[in-house]
Amino acid sequence: MHPAAIAADDLLQACTETRTKRSGPGGQHRNKVETAVILHHDQTGVSAEASERRSQAANRRVALFRLRLRLALEHRQAPEPEPSWLWQSRVRDGRLAIAIDHDDYPALVAEALDRLVAVNLDMPTAAAAFAITPTQLGRLFEKAPAAWQKLNQLRSTAGMKPLR
């Protein structure tokens, strides 16, 4: 299972959490209290942080989502032969239904990137494995600028034209 798809509690246990102070909106209270959260995934070395909220708990949630997305983009592993239950539950009539801010989004991106890398970035082949169209697969990446950028970076490295 990809680290981006692990349950939140298990992922937090696999991380080192650092709390620190950051300046910004929120005034004196924010400047005196350690509300910023930095999560470092020990196994992969990937980190993410959040400090824009006044609450440490809110920043932890945001940092955890950012960590999941960074893991999805930076950590590759061999794909499973069949799409995960998560993928199958999100596809209806050849359409992929997911919002960028949903907790499942990073796991879907990770699985899609793993599959794409395994098939030499062939969008139609990868899309067929997930029972969606290549357009639907592209839209998954378009939702997050970092995901779109990563896909085009991989394509560029492979000597392919970037997607628009």
Q: How many domains does the chain have?
A: 2
Residue 29: pLDDT band by 50, 70, 90 thresholds? low
| Spatial CB neighbours of 30, under 8 Å, sequence gap ≥ 6 | 21, 22, 23, 24, 54
63 and 29 belong to one structural domain:
yes
In this prediction, residue 25 carries a pLDDT of 61
Residue 11 lies inside a defined structural domain of this protein: yes
Tell me the per-residue pLDDT of 70-119, one tens digit each, with 9 for 90 and over.
Answer: 999 999 999 999 999 999 999 998 899 999 999 999 999 999 999 999 99
In this prediction, residue 24 carries a pLDDT of 62
What CATH number does the domain containing 18 carry?
A: 3.30.160.20
In this prediction, residue 94 carries a pLDDT of 84
Residue-range definition of the domain harbouring residue 42? 3-67
CB 140 within 8 A of CB 126: no
In this prediction, residue 85 carries a pLDDT of 94
132 and 94 belong to one structural domain:
yes
Residue 30: pLDDT band by 50, 70, 90 thresholds? low
58 and 104 belong to one structural domain:
no
Residue 99 bridge partners (DSSP)? none
Residue 109 lies inside a defined structural domain of this protein: yes
Residue 72 lies inside a defined structural domain of this protein: no
Residue 26: pLDDT band by 50, 70, 90 thresholds? low
In this prediction, residue 27 carries a pLDDT of 60
In this prediction, residue 33 carries a pLDDT of 65
Residue 99 lies inside a defined structural domain of this protein: yes
Where is the domain boundary, 37, 67, 97?
Answer: 67
Residue 7 lies inside a defined structural domain of this protein: yes
102 and 132 belong to one structural domain:
yes
pLDDT at 64 over 70: yes
62 and 89 belong to one structural domain:
no
Distance (Å, whole) CA 99 – CA 79: 23
Which residue type sits at 35?
T
7 and 42 belong to one structural domain:
yes
Distance (Å, whole) CA 164 – CA 160: 12
Residue 47 lies inside a defined structural domain of this protein: yes
8 and 48 belong to one structural domain:
yes
89 and 153 belong to one structural domain:
yes
CB 66 within 8 A of CB 50: yes
